[in-house]
């Protein structure tokens, strides 16, 4: 037996909808605590393109580590992003065989590790919480809950992929490179770097680190600017690769390690970037006496630290504020005001700004008070204490 908690779920198309129905059929005998589907398609074209062909054994769910973590607990919460949700019942069954715990599968929408939901878990009075698919970026505010984050590394042995990357670099004669990864592919970065350093001693390899992410790991909302000639993004979906395109104007290639493919992928990034710059430039000519701040309550997308800093900034500028808390942000839910600033996710207004009108993210709002136009668009998440970038430029000689 397992429990399924579903408060909101996004359905992308009829095929995925049928997948969801199959998911519930698999949990025959499961207790549906709450079911309230909210149809959302805003992530349709950003869903992982390869994961739908992946099997349960293609990921390392670290069940021995999960078993040790659960111990003698009676209940455990399991949370999965969209790409891994179809494996949730398999994982639940495995956990039931390994422990005496009853799994509770959270079916709420999960955009990232920031959607760690300790509030619901606290209401259930459960102290074991396993989040699959992301690196932990937020700390618990309810101290009784000690979550475990499992990145779900891809179970691959790189060989042909290394040769493909080397051949691609040689073909285009790139003098410097920068690799970005997700939680699933971060484990391959050291191996790729070592291989290239030996094969191409004069190649300049740039690295970055956003604490607390792994070396060269990025998020869809957090990505650095690089001066490398090319960026290779080890991802199988568009969302993370688009983050690289937003912050960098260099060549960007998607490296699909599963299919051993390297390709450039078209997206709406450059059109959206131009649109956001136009919005900011237009708003610079206006004076604001009062703004509406939207605080995201979907997990820990927003942080009190970010909110307090923004409030202080506005107070220094003699701008009054009103605060609106929303779990998911839609245009028809926003309060009327001179200007709305959302501190939930920087990608929200960047990707769907045409639907929100003059709604800014935090970076765009601060740009209103800069004399120069936006040259390098910045992406950093707003959760926890924020990410502090340590950028390393390493030359392999």
pLDDT, one tens digit per residue, over 160-211 is 999 999 999 999 999 999 999 999 999 999 999 999 999 999 999 999 988 8
Tokens read off for 303:
């942080």
Distance, in Å, from the CA atom of 332 to the CA atom of 355, rounded to the nearest integer, reads 10
Q: Same fold for the domain at 3-41+61-150 and the one at 160-267?
A: yes
Fold of domain 286-367: Rossmann fold (3.40.50)
The torsion angles phi and psi of 310, rounded to 5 degrees, stand at -70, -40
Distance, in Å, from the CA atom of 148 to the CA atom of 126, rounded to the nearest integer, reads 13
Residue 88 has a pLDDT of: 94
Alpha-carbon separation of residue 151 from 80, 84, 106, 213, 385 (angstroms): 11, 11, 17, 11, 21
Please give the CATH number for the structural domain made up of 3-41+61-150: 3.40.50.11840
- Burial tier of 382 (Cβ tally within 10 Å: 0-12, 13-18, 19+): buried
List the pLDDT tens digit at each of the 397 positions of the chain. 566 655 443 333 333 333 333 333 334 333 333 323 332 333 333 445 555 567 888 999 999 999 999 999 999 999 999 889 989 999 999 999 999 999 999 988 888 899 888 888 888 888 899 999 999 998 888 888 889 999 999 999 999 999 999 999 999 999 999 999 999 999 999 999 999 999 999 999 999 988 889 999 999 999 989 999 999 999 877 889 999 999 998 999 999 999 999 998 777 788 999 999 999 999 999 999 999 999 998 888 888 889 999 999 999 999 999 999 998 888 889 988 899 999 999 999 998 888 888 899 999 999 999 988 887 888 887 776 544 444 444 433 2
Distance, in Å, from the CA atom of 10 to the CA atom of 16, rounded to the nearest integer, reads 9
How many Cβ atoms sit within 10 Å of the Cβ of residue 391?
13
In this prediction the pTM is 0.83
Alpha-carbon separation of residue 278 from 52, 275, 369 (angstroms): 37, 5, 15
Alpha-carbon separation of residue 169 from 115, 142, 160 (angstroms): 37, 48, 14
Return the closest-CA partner of residue 148 out of 54, 63, 217. 63
Residue 263 has a pLDDT of: 93
Partner residues linked to 252 by β-bridges: 231
- In the chain, which ranges are E strands? 3-5, 31-34, 75-79, 102-106, 129-132, 148-150, 176-181, 204-210, 230-234, 251-256, 261-263, 290-296, 320-326, 340-342, 359-361, 389-395
Domain ranges of the chain: 3-41+61-150, 160-267, 286-367
Distance, in Å, from the CA atom of 187 to the CA atom of 26, rounded to the nearest integer, reads 32
Residue 394 has a pLDDT of: 40
**Measured in Å, how far apart are the chain's first and last C-alpha atoms?**
58
- Cα Rg of the chain (Å, integer): 22
Distance, in Å, from the CA atom of 376 to the CA atom of 379, rounded to the nearest integer, reads 10
Q: What is the dihedral of CA 132, 222, 215, 299, to 10 degrees?
A: -30
Residue 52 has a pLDDT of: 56
Distance, in Å, from the CA atom of 239 to the CA atom of 221, rounded to the nearest integer, reads 9
CATH classification number, 160-267, choose in 3.40.50.11850, 1.10.150.20, 3.40.50.300, 2.30.31.10: 3.40.50.11850
Residue 392 has a pLDDT of: 43
């Amino acid at each position: 037996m397992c429990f399924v908690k579903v408060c909101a779920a996004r359905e992308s198309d009829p095929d995925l909808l049928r997948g969801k129905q199959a998911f519930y059929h698999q949990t025959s005998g499961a207790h549906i605590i709450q079911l309230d589907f909210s149809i959302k398609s805003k992530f349709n074209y950003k869903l992982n393109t390869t994961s739908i062909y992946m099997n349960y054994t293609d990921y390392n769910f670290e069940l021995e580590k999960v078993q040790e973590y659960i111990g003698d607990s009676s209940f455990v919460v399991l949370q999965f992003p969209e790409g891994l949700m179809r494996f949730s019942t398999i994982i639940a069954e495995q956990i039931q065989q390994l422990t005496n715990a009853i799994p509770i599968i959270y079916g709420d929408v999960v955009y990232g590790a920031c959607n760690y939901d300790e509030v619901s878990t606290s209401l259930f009075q459960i102290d074991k919480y396993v989040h699959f698919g992301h690196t932990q970026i937020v700390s618990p505010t309810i101290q009784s809950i000690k979550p475990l984050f499992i990145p779900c590394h891809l179970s691959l042995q790189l060989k042909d992929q290394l040769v493909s990357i080397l051949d691609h670099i040689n073909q285009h004669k790139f003098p410097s490179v920068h690799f970005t990864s997700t939680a699933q592919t971060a484990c391959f970065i050291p191996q790729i770097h070592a291989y290239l350093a030996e094969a191409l001693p004069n190649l300049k390899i740039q690295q970055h680190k956003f604490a607390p992410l792994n070396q060269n790991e990025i998020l869809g909302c957090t990505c650095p600017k690089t001066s490398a000639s090319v960026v290779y993004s080890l991802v199988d979906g568009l969302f993370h690769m688009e983050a690289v395109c937003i912050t960098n104007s260099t060549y960007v290639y998607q490296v699909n390690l599963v299919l051993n493919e390297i390709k450039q992928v078209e997206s709406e990034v450059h059109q959206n970037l131009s649109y956001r710059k136009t919005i900011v430039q237009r708003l610079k000519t206006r004076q604001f006496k009062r703004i509406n701040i939207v605080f995201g309550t979907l997990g820990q997308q927003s942080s009190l630290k970010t909110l307090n800093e923004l409030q202080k900034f506005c107070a220094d500028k003699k701008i009054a504020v009103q605060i609106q808390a929303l779990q998911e942000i839609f245009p028809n839910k926003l309060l009327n005001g001179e200007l709305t600033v959302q501190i939930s996710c920087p990608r929200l207004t960047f990707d769907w700004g045409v639907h929100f009108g003059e709604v800014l993210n935090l970076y765009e709002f601060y740009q209103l008070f800069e004399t120069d136009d936006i040259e390098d668009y910045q992406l950093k998440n707003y959760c926890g204490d924020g990410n502090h970038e340590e950028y390393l430029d390493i030359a392999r000689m």
